[in-house]
Structure 1
Amino acid sequence: MKTILRATLAACALAIGATAALAQAYPNAPVTLVVPFAAGSGTDSVARAVASGLAARLKQPVVVDNKPGANAQVAAQFVAKAKPDGYTLFMTTNTSHSANPALYKNLKYDPIKDFTPVARVGELPFALAVHPALPVKTLAELLDYARANPGKLSYATPNSTSLVAMESIKHIAKIDVLGVPYKSSPQAMTDLVGGQVQVYVADLGSGMGMLKTDKVRTLGITTAEPTPLLPGVPPIGKTVKGFDLTSWNGIFGPAGLPPAVVLRLNTELQAVLADKDLQDKLAQIGFQVWPSKTPEEFAQYVAGQLTHWRTLIQQAGIQPE
Structure 2
Amino acid sequence: MNLAIRKFAGRAALLAAAALTAAAPVARAAYPERPIAITVPTAPGGTVDIVARIMAEQLGGTLGQPVVVNNKAGAGGVVGTQAARREAADGYNLLFTANSNQLIVPWVYKKPGFDPIKDFVPIAAVGIVPNVLCVHPSFPAKDLKGFLAEVKANPDKYRYASAGSGTLNHLLGEMMNEKGGLKMQHIPYKGVAPAMTDVLGNQVPMLFASLPSAVEAVKAGKLRAIGVSSATRAPLLPDVPAIAEQIPGFSGDLWVAFYAPRGTPQPVVDRLHDAIKTALASPALQQRFQQLGVTVLRDGPEQLAARQQKEFAQWKQIVERSGAAVD
Task: Give me the TM-score of the superposition, normalised by structure 1.
Answer: 0.90
Instruction: State the match for 1:305 in structure 2.
Output: 311
Distance in structure 2 (CA, Å) of the matches to 1:249 and 1:179: 24
Look up the match of 1:125: 130
Q: Kindly state the Cα deviation for residue 320 of structure 1 after the two structures are TM-superposed.
A: 4.9
Task: For residue 22 of structure 1, report the CA deviation from its aligned partner.
Answer: 7.6
Residues 106 and 23 from structure 1, CA distance in 2 versus in 1: closer, same or farther, beyond 3 angstroms? Answer: farther
Aligned counterpart in structure 1 of residue 52 of structure 2, from 43, 47, 54: 47
Matches within 5 A, 1:53-72: 53-72=58-77
Give distance in 1, aligned partners of 2:188 and 2:214.
17
1:170 paired residue number: 177
**Which residue of structure 2 aligns with residue 3 of structure 1?**
none
Map 1:126-165 to 2 at 5 A. 126-159=131-164, 160-165=167-172
Tell me which residue corresponds to 1:86: 91
Indicate the SS of the match to 2:234: coil
Gap regions ≥5 residues in structure 1: 1-17
**CA separation in 2, counterparts of 1:143 and 1:36?**
33
Is the CA contact 1:43–1:205 (under 8 Å) kept in the aligned structure 2?
no
1:106 matched to 2:106: no
Which whole-Å CA distance do the structure 2 matches of 1:24 and 1:248 have between them?
34
Pick which of 299-308 and 82-91 moved more: 299-308
Q: What code does the residue aligned with 2:313 have?
A: T
- Cα deviation, residue 112, structure 1: 0.6
Instruction: Report % sequence identity.
Output: 36
2 CA distance for matches of 1:171 and 1:24? 56
Q: Distance in 1 between matches of 2:323 and 2:290?
A: 34
Amino acid at match of 1:32: A
Q: Please show how residues 220-239 of structure 1 align to structure 2 within 5 Å.
A: 220-239=227-246
SS at match of 1:25: coil
**2:33 alignment counterpart:** 28
Does the 8 A contact of 1:22 with 1:261 survive in 2?
Answer: no
The DSSP-based 3-state class of the residue aligned with 1:91 is strand
Is residue 128–residue 294 contact of structure 2 (8 Å, CA) maintained in 1?
yes
What are the Cα deviations for residues 136-156 of structure 1, in whole angstroms up to 9, with x where unaligned?
122222121112111110000
Q: Residue 271 of structure 1 aligns with which residue?
A: 278
Kept in 1, the 8 Å contact 2:144–2:241? The answer is no
Separation (CA, whole Å) in 2 of partners of 1:126 and 1:24 = 43
TM-score by length of 2: 0.88
Following TM superposition, by how much is the alpha carbon of 1:170 offset from its aligned partner in structure 2, in angstroms? 0.5
Length, aligned pairs only = 301
Q: Is the 8 A contact 1:23 1:260 kept in 2?
A: no
Residue deviations 1:24-49, cap 9 Å, x none? 62111100011111222111111111
Deviations 1:75-125 (CA, angstroms, capped at 9, x unpaired): 100111111000000110112211012111111110111101111111122
User: Structure 2: which 5+ runs fail to align?
Assistant: 1-22
CA contact (8 A) 1:154 1:179 kept: yes
Q: Which SS does the other structure have where 2:253 is aligned?
A: coil
Q: Which moved more, 1:45-54 or 1:223-232?
A: 223-232
Q: d(CA) in 2 for partners of 1:102 and 1:166?
A: 17
1:14 match: none
Shift of 1:264: 0.5
| 3-state SS, counterpart of residue 308 of structure 2 | helix
- For the 8 Å contact 1:171–1:317, the answer to whether it is kept is no
Deviates more, 1:91-100 or 1:250-259: 91-100
Q: Per-residue deviation at 1:205?
A: 1.8
- 1:311 partner SS: helix
Query: 2:223 matched to which residue of 1?
Result: 216
- Quote the Cα distance in structure 2 between the aligned partners of 1:119 and 1:214: 35
Q: Look at both structures and tell me which one has the larger radius of gyration over its CA atoms.
A: 2
**What SS does the aligned partner of 2:81 have?**
helix
1:179-218 alignment runs, 5 A limit: 179-218=186-225
